[in-house]
């Protein structure tokens, strides 16, 4: 079987990889996490597997309840470039991304691309961020807030997303416009070992922390404008508690660049 399919409890299910004998078909791995994405995962897979870059695809599914898991298991049986890890339940989007980093490193991929499974991201933008890596960048971000970028949110979600990134930019003083979007491409050999895998955030705050670490460790980060579409099916999975944890993470990262705070931590 070409999938790494896990349904049993493990010591740390958030960050545990099952044994796998699956070999690489590409130097590039595309990753997306799923939870109840039955209506969108098929079109997404059709699009990314059809890209001219001929990438492998990894999905970490948190035991979806709407048939997503079964759909993926059936697809894996006929698609040698698709890998699937099924966890025991909802363990956090950040932990799923860290698991993908572990998988990519252990299997010798040179590039990793991440995106959402709900078609908020245009799958063809994967080729665009990979082209940025080919142009010399260590990391490429899709940004909703660069000139030319678009965001289809409205009301409270638009206010929250736009102002969260503005506040992060103002507090962290980093030369990027996008801190919370997951469309990213990375050259793994240029990312310090365990820089991402050791990030403590298991939820949405992971993206903020990860972007900050990339820039603070001197990596070349470039952004391209993207059109981020509101999901056509289902509802957003970000909760009020996730928003609160992201705010705490932003405060911690802001203090972490101050010398007196670093001395306090060491003590």
What confidence tens digit (pLDDT) does each residue in 87-128 have?
999 999 999 999 999 999 999 999 999 999 999 999 999 999
pTM: 0.89
Name the residue with tokens 């469309």. Answer: 183
Residue ranges covered by each domain of the chain: 28-260
- The residue among 224, 215, 219, 212 whose CA lies nearest residue 255 is 212
- Supply the pLDDT for residue 235: 53
CA 219/CA 211 separation, integer angstroms: 10
Contact 93, 68 (CB under 8 A): no
Residues of the chain predicted below pLDDT 50: 1-11, 260, 267
Q: 16: which 2 tokens?
A: 């545990």
Contact 190, 219 (CB under 8 A): yes
Contact 79, 50 (CB under 8 A): no
Q: How far apart, in Å, are the Cα atoms of 64 and each of 37, 133, 217, 228, 238?
A: 8, 33, 36, 24, 16
- Supply the pLDDT for residue 265: 57
Instruction: Give the end-to-end CA distance of the chain in Å, rounded to a whole number.
Output: 51
- The residue among 230, 216, 250, 64 whose CA lies nearest residue 154 is 230
- Supply the pLDDT for residue 267: 47
Decide which of 3.90.550.10, 3.40.50.1970, 3.40.50.300, 3.40.630.10 is the CATH code for 28-260.
3.90.550.10
């Amino acid at each position: 079987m070409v999938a790494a399919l896990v349904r049993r409890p493990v010591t740390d299910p958030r960050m545990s990889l099952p044994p796998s004998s699956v070999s690489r078909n590409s130097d590039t791995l595309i990753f997306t996490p799923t939870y109840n994405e039955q209506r969108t995962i098929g079109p997404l897979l059709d699009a990314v597997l059809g890209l001219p870059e001929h990438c492998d695809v990894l999905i970490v599914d948190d035991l979806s309840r709407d048939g997503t898991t079964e759909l993926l298991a059936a697809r894996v049986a006929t698609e040698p470039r698709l890998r699937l890890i099924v966890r025991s339940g909802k363990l956090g989007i950040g932990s799923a991304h860290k698991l993908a980093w572990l998988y990519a490193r252990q299997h010798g991929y040179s590039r990793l691309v991440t995106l959402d499974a709900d078609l908020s991201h245009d799958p063809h933008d994967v080729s665009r961020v990979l082209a940025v890596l080919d142009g010399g960048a260590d990391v490429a971000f899709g940004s909703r807030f660069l000139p030319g970028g678009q965001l289809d949110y409205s009301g409270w979600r638009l206010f929250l997303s736009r102002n969260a990134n503005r506040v992060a930019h103002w507090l962290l003083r980093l030369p990027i416009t996008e801190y919370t979007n997951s469309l990213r491409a990375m050259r793994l050999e240029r990312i310090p070992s365990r820089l991402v895998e050791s990030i403590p955030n298991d939820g949405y705050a992971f993206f903020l922390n990860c972007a900050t670490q990339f820039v603070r460790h001197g990596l070349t980060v470039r952004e391209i404008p993207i059109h981020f579409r509101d999901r056509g099916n289902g509802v957003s999975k970000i909760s009020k508690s996730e928003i609160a944890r992201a705010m705490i993470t932003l405060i911690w990262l802001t203090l972490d660049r101050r010398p007196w705070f670093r001395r306090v931590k060491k003590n």
